[in-house]
């Protein structure tokens, strides 16, 4: 594949906005699809997204924004997907442009709930895109800190490392450093699981568990992630690398973590619905924990933290009781 000249970002949320900001540092033009016409007009006039990380200054003269998905996709060689996994199929239902020869980058940290597949598998199975043309962008990195131009690190994973390097060069800038990896499956699954762990972290925080307990929770969590990814996709990997451990740490501890905030609200007694409405953002871990539990019925991996979060969110077990039971399983 030749060097991509045109990159399209699909999505209008925080991560989409952050990726657009990064790309504008290096490329002459970015194609950007979002649904809301009013938001499009605001960005074109003022150079920032009024709904998500509004502090991010966007180079509006480089942006080609439209609510016409097919027009945006047809212009691009590379598509960066940054919509919530629960709504990906709904978003792509309006797509009639052939994408089988495009380079697909997933910035989605979730599982497609209709068939319990990670995003890479979804594009391979649904659109016949070879895995060598599918990439994943993972942290540790919060969109809010990109907006503030604080030094952050990203990993771009693809079976074709040259393509991963090419895209990583396009998002690297003075406040973004990048690494590349061949492990698209492990990095994507770990990114899904860290959101589930962050919900557990938020629940524990709201219940009064302190830093000592949180440290034990997270150290157990990285082992839980390793057990699962090693069974789901058994290759040699170092779970201590920033794409795995670093991404877990920032999501479990950061004030910017949507999943931790969601868990904090659940621990305080909010219902799932009321927490979602008040946040006005998607906590991917809510959808992911159900998918992971169903997938794990085949693997049988020991996942006590994931099980605890599932019990609280889907079986409405008291967070106080469930976290007390979990504490007896950690070490």
Give the DSSP H/E element, type plus range, for residue 87.
none
Query: Which CA distances in Å does 315 have to 256, 265, 309, 320?
Result: 27, 17, 9, 14
Which 3 state secondary structure label does DSSP give 45? helix
Q: Look up tokens 């993972």; give the residue.
A: 138
3-state SS string over 168-181?
HHHHCECCEEEEEE
Q: Looking at residue 153, what is its pLDDT?
A: 95
**In sequence order, which residues have a C-beta less than 8 Å from that of residue 221 and are 6 or more positions away?**
193, 194, 197, 200, 248, 252, 305
Given this model, what pLDDT does residue 4 score?
A: 47
Rounded to whole angstroms, the Cα distance separating 208 from 184 reads 37
Characterize the bridge pairing of strands 176-181 and 152-158. parallel
Which architecture characterizes domain 7-182 according to CATH? 3-Layer(aba) Sandwich (3.40)
What string of pLDDT tens digits covers the 331 residues of the chain? 445 469 999 999 999 999 999 999 999 899 999 999 999 999 999 999 999 999 899 999 999 999 999 999 999 999 999 998 889 999 999 999 999 999 999 999 888 888 888 899 999 999 999 999 999 999 898 888 988 899 999 999 999 999 999 999 999 999 999 999 999 999 999 999 999 999 999 999 999 999 999 999 999 999 999 999 999 999 999 999 999 999 999 999 988 899 999 999 999 999 988 998 888 777 889 999 999 999 999 999 999 999 999 999 999 999 999 999 999 999 9
What gap in Å lies between CA 54 and CA 63, rounded to an integer?
Answer: 16
In the chain, what are the domain boundaries? 7-182, 186-327
> What are the φ/ψ torsions at residue 306 (nearest 5 degrees)?
-60, -45
CA-CA-CA-CA torsion sign (54, 92, 187, 275): positive
Instruction: Let me know if the fold of 7-182 is the same as that of 186-327.
Output: no
Phi, psi of 43 (to 5 degrees): -65, -45
Count of CA atoms in the C-beta half-sphere (13 A) of 91:
20
Structure tokens at 162: 């040259």
Domain 186-327 sits in CATH 3.40.640.10? no
């Amino acid at each position: 594949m030749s060097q991509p000249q045109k990159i399209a970002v699909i999505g209008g949320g925080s991560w989409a906005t952050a990726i657009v900001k990064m790309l504008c540092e290096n490329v002459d033009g970015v194609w950007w699809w979002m649904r809301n016409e009013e938001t499009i007009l605001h960005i074109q006039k003022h150079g920032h997204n009024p709904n998500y990380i509004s502090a991010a200054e966007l180079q509006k003269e480089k942006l080609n924004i439209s609510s016409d998905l097919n027009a945006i996709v047809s212009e691009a060689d590379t598509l960066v997907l940054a919509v919530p996994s629960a709504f990906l199929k709904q978003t792509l239902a309006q797509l009639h442009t052939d994408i089988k020869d495009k380079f697909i980058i997933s910035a989605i940290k979730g599982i497609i709930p209709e068939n319990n597949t990670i995003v890479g598998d979804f594009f391979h199975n649904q659109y016949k895109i070879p895995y060598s043309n599918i990439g994943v962008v993972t942290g540790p990195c919060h969109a809010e800190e990109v907006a503030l131009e604080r030094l952050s690190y990203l990993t771009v994973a693809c079976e074709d490392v040259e393509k991963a390097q090419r895209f990583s060069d396009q998002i690297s800038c003075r406040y973004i450093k990048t690494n590349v990896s061949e492990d698209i499956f492990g990095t994507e699954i770990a990114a899904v699981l860290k959101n589930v762990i962050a919900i557990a972290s938020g629940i524990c925080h709201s219940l009064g568990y302190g830093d000592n307990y949180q440290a034990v929770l997270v150290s157990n969590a990285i082992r839980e992630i390793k057990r699962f990814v090693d069974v789901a996709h058994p290759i040699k990997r170092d779970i201590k690398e920033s794409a795995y451990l670093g991404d877990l740490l920032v999501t479990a501890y950061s004030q910017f973590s949507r999943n931790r905030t969601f868990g904090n609200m659940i621990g305080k007694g909010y219902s799932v619905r009321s927490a979602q409405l008040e946040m006005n953002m998607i906590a991917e871990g809510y959808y992911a924990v159900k998918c992971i539990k169903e997938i794990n019925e085949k693997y049988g991996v020991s996942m006590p933290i994931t099980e605890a979060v599932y019990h609280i969110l889907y079986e409405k077990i008291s967070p106080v009781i469930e976290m007390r039971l979990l504490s007896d399983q950690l070490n």
